[in-house]
Homo-oligomer: A and B are copies of this chain.
Amino acid sequence: MFPRKLTRQVICNPDYPVVQTKAGKLRGVVVEDAFIFRGIRYAEAKRFHMPEPVTPWDGIKDAIMFGPVSMEISTGIAHDAFNVPHFYFPQDEACQYLNVWTQSIDPNAKKPVMVWIHGGGFSSGSSVELYAYDGEELSAFGDVVVVSLNHRLNCIGFLDLSDYGEEYRYSGNVGMADVIAALRWIKENIAQFGGDPDNVTIMGQSGGGMKVASLLQMPSADGLFHKASIQSGISDAPAMTHKEAGAFADKIVAALGLTKETIKEIENIPYFHLARACLTAAGEGGRMPWAPVRDDDFFMGNGVADGFREETKNIPILIGSVLGEMTTNYNVELELTAKSTWSDEKVDGFMKEMYGDKADAVMAAYQKAYPKHPRANALFVDKALRRPTLVYAKARAAAGCAPVYTWLFNLECPAFGGTLPWHNAEEAYMFHNACYLEASYVPGVSEWLQDMMTGSWVRFAYTGCPDHPGIPYWTPTSPDSVPTMIFDREIELAVDHDKELMETLPDQNITKYFANSKRRQSKPLGGGPRQST
């Protein structure tokens, strides 16, 4: 719920707006011109089991407030909560809810449907977590139906108990099964909300991008979507194997004091205990390997490594990332702010410290890629997501798939004395919400740039091609060359502009480097609060 200034009476009457879904009637609200339905239950599920269709009801149910979001193992204030404003929401295991923004509830309107799948890895987040992805502006600007959804995460979405019994066969994938159940709900019901069930674009960023890429590899999702947008969501990691996921599950089961004989109890213990067992299993500061589990029927593994499925080769892809991602300089604790005041000597000193002998080559490749950018930005350019994105785009082209359109979001924002675009930064622009967000908004730039970017995403949803008046002609990726649409204060199509940079740049990330630097650890960290529990 996005409290923008209203100009007209919001309508929420006993009998309007009401929409008939397969399971029953829903009452929404009309805000300005948009019909909004929040918190629609799309599935029901027992813990660790596959989702089932919702129980039908009589009368009219309210869909005026968001539904609960997935339980999280811990919910703290994100370190990037200023740049990426969060909307936290009550959590519940029964979290299979979606939201709809639409300009029409005429069943014959058949508008493109744009489905947002949230990020947060496979462990956290929700359909409403970030203000940036409120759907009201996108729906109005593009005259499209926007859907966003919650689904099960972490140990209730991806705990692979398949070794403990046939009934848990899919427990390592039920989180993704929820997403597919939502897509099925959309197929069956979205026409009533003015949407075209035969023109559905799935979109996601970070973990959401991984989910989109995974859905292409999941047979039960076939036919439920027709276009896909993957945003900062491709990594080098291979698909999760049953071996790894099952080993982690074993540790959790052991931490709970359960066995194959008593495993049934795991369905009823309080979530808090399950979460504590996960923390125990992961160990101090350990990573929890939540992700869909590759098997022989539900999830066919990552496209690049395991092969793109024939059934989804016809899906056009919009793919990209942002210039800074995780390396950006808004982390005030790390004294990385005010980069624009750094002398060339200071910049080169850091380059040398981080990259040693390679420093000069990196700087040369950086300046070749971005001749107009300041020297200091070379310290912050992302490789971790950009490189695999390029690999993915080219591999799909090489496999003879439908067109792949590649982009980069490079707009620097003024906060903290100049900040490269951070992980999540493009969302405000492709959802047309940039003018609402304190760190994102650049007067005179945001208004125009979000028109272009939201416009491109909407064109992609309408036609499968993001070409849009006002931006250069968007050539798709080929097996050996990547034309990238660069969204910045100017928009240009650059062909293989950062190829050499990606080859030269070491894997080092300046943010991690500063965080780990002993030289800096002696100084007290300032900065915002952290959750201690």
Chain B interface: which of A300-308, A457-465, A502-510, A524-532? A524-532
Size category of the binding interface on chain A: 35 or more
Contact between chains at B68 and A438 (CB < 8 Å): no
CB distance from A89 to the nearest CB of B (A): 6
Contact between chains at B82 and A438 (CB < 8 Å): no
Knowing A68-B77, A441-B9 are in contact, say whether A526-B61 is a contact too (CB < 8 A). yes
Contact between chains at B441 and A10 (CB < 8 Å): yes
Contact between chains at A90 and B5 (CB < 8 Å): no
Residue from B9, B65, B332, B436 in contact with A4 in the complex, judged by beta carbons closer than 8 Å: B436
Closest chain B residue to A417 by CB distance?
B14
Assess whether A64 is interfacial by the CB under 8 Å rule. Answer: yes
Knowing A68-B77, A435-B6 are in contact, say whether A39-B528 is a contact too (CB < 8 A). yes
Within 8 A of B (CB), among A1-31: 1-14, 27, 29, 31
Knowing A59-B526, A528-B64, A529-B68 are in contact, say whether A417-B13 is a contact too (CB < 8 A). yes
Assess whether A500 is interfacial by the CB under 8 Å rule. Answer: no
Assess whether A403 is interfacial by the CB under 8 Å rule. Answer: no
Closest chain B residue to A271 by CB distance?
B533
CB distance from A343 to the nearest CB of B (A): 15
Residue from B6, B66, B526 in contact with A436 in the complex, judged by beta carbons closer than 8 Å: B6
Interface flags, A313-338, vs B, CB<8A=1, else 0: 00000000000000000001000011
Closest chain B residue to A36 by CB distance?
B438
Bound Cα distance from A375 to B60, whole angstroms: 27
Chain B interface: which of A92-100, A114-122, A448-456, A490-498? A92-100
Bound Cα distance from A131 to B3, whole angstroms: 8
Chain A positions near chain B (C-beta within 8 angstroms): 1-14, 27, 29, 31, 39, 41, 57-62, 64-68, 71, 75-77, 81-82, 85, 87-94, 97, 131, 270-272, 332, 337-338, 414-417, 433, 435-439, 441-443, 524, 526-529, 531-533
Knowing A77-B65, A93-B533, A131-B3 are in contact, say whether A10-B416 is a contact too (CB < 8 A). no
Knowing A5-B436, A439-B12, A524-B57 are in contact, say whether A39-B533 is a contact too (CB < 8 A). no
CB distance from A44 to the nearest CB of B (A): 12
Contact between chains at A415 and B12 (CB < 8 Å): yes
CB distance from A239 to the nearest CB of B (A): 32
Chain B residues, Cβ within 8 Å of A65: 77, 81-82, 528-529
Contact between chains at B131 and A526 (CB < 8 Å): no
Bound Cα distance from A526 to B41, whole angstroms: 12
The 6 A-B pairs with the shortest beta carbon distances in the complex, nearest first, are A3-B436, A14-B338, A61-B526, A10-B438, A88-B88, A64-B82
Chain B residues, Cβ within 8 Å of A532: 92-94
Contact between chains at B90 and A531 (CB < 8 Å): yes
Contact between chains at B76 and A90 (CB < 8 Å): yes
Bound Cα distance from A428 to B228, whole angstroms: 41
